[in-house]
């Protein structure tokens, strides 16, 4: 992979991470009381991200032949690079929250583009599906085996939190008492370790992968398939000629 392709991969990954952080930050200050210092810090972060998104949008327009078609297909990106600080010009709090929500949706749409591309290229969609299924089953099984026995487990929500922390952080916040509870906890740890190992390997292969080589390989396969079809047709013609004689 060339250095330009590596830079592009790093740029896409970094941008997606920044967008995700911005989505979480804007959502938090929109629905929870926050200090002026926190709001100011988030406004600065959002403004810097908007500058980056605006530059990227202009660059993409410049690279496209049909610029108006690109703008029509990606007009929601314009909402994504409007800084939330300027929403203060509106007096109504509900309107400000509505504009923030629209910005969050625009950012989320932009984030999903890169996320889906990454998931499909690395097959992480299957790994995430297995992880969520394991966490769902682990929550129900841990609750059914520890409920009424473990004084630390008071509700299904506690079981869910135990499953999330055990799988994602490897931290057991509710020590299991029963044999099956301990077995479930060990399995959840194993699932989490396997998932992050697969995630690391997927990131490495995603950075190393060369799209040009893949395209060249696909073209060769198609060329060989056409040759095989041509040979099969010629063999059929020869068989028909031999039958006549």
CB 137 within 8 A of CB 129: no
pLDDT in tens, 167-178: 887 888 899 999
Q: Does the reported pTM lie above 0.85? A: no
Write out pLDDT tens, residues 146-161.
998 999 898 888 999 8
The domain 123-209 having CATH identifier 1.10.240.10: the answer here is no
Question: What is the phi/psi pair of residue 128, to 5°?
Answer: -65, -40
What span, in angstroms and rounded, lies between the C-alpha atoms of 203 and 10?
Answer: 11
The answer to whether the CB of 84 falls within 8 A of the CB of 46 is: yes
Within 13 Å, how many C-alpha atoms sit on residue 120's CB side? Answer: 6
Give CA–CA dist 125/14, Å, rounded: 20
Give the pLDDT of residue 65. 78
Domain boundaries, the chain: 1-122, 123-209
**Is the pLDDT at 204 greater than 90, yes or no?**
no
- The angle formed by the CA atoms of residues 112, 113 and 117, to the nearest 5 degrees, is 105
pLDDT in tens, 26-76: 777 777 777 888 888 888 888 888 888 788 888 878 877 777 887 777 777
Q: Name the CATH superfamily for 1-122.
A: Voltage-gated potassium channels. Chain C (1.20.120.350)
**Residue 8 token pair:** 């592009």
- The 8-class DSSP code of residue 82 comes to S
| Cβ contact 142:157 at 8 Å | no
């Amino acid at each position: 992979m060339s250095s330009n392709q590596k830079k592009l991969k790093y740029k896409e990954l970094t941008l997606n991470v920044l967008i995700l952080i911005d989505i979480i930050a804007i959502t938090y200050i929109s629905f929870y009381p926050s200090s002026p210092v926190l709001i100011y810090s988030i406004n600065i972060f959002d403004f810097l991200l908007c500058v980056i998104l605006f530059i990227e949008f202009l660059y993409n327009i410049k690279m496209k032949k049909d610029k108006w078609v690109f703008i029509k297909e990606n007009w929601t990106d314009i909402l994504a690079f409007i800084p939330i600080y300027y929403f203060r010009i509106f007096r109504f709090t509900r309107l400000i929250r509505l504009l923030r929500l629209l910005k969050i949706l625009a950012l989320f749409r932009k984030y999903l583009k890169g996320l889906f591309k990454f998931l499909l290229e690395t097959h992480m969609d299957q790994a995430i599906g297995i992880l969520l299924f394991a966490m769902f089953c682990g929550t129900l099984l841990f609750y059914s085996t520890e409920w009424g026995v473990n004084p630390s487990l008071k509700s299904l929500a506690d079981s869910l939190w135990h499953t999330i922390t055990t799988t994602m952080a490897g931290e057991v916040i509710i020590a299991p008492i029963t044999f099956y509870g301990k077995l479930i906890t060990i399995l959840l740890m194993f699932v989490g370790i396997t998932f992050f190992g697969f995630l690391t390997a997927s990131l490495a292969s995603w950075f190393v992968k060369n799209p040009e080589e893949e395209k060249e390989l696909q073209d060769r396969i198609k060329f060989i398939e056409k040759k095989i079809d041509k040979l099969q047709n010629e063999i059929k013609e020869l068989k028909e000629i031999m039958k006549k004689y």
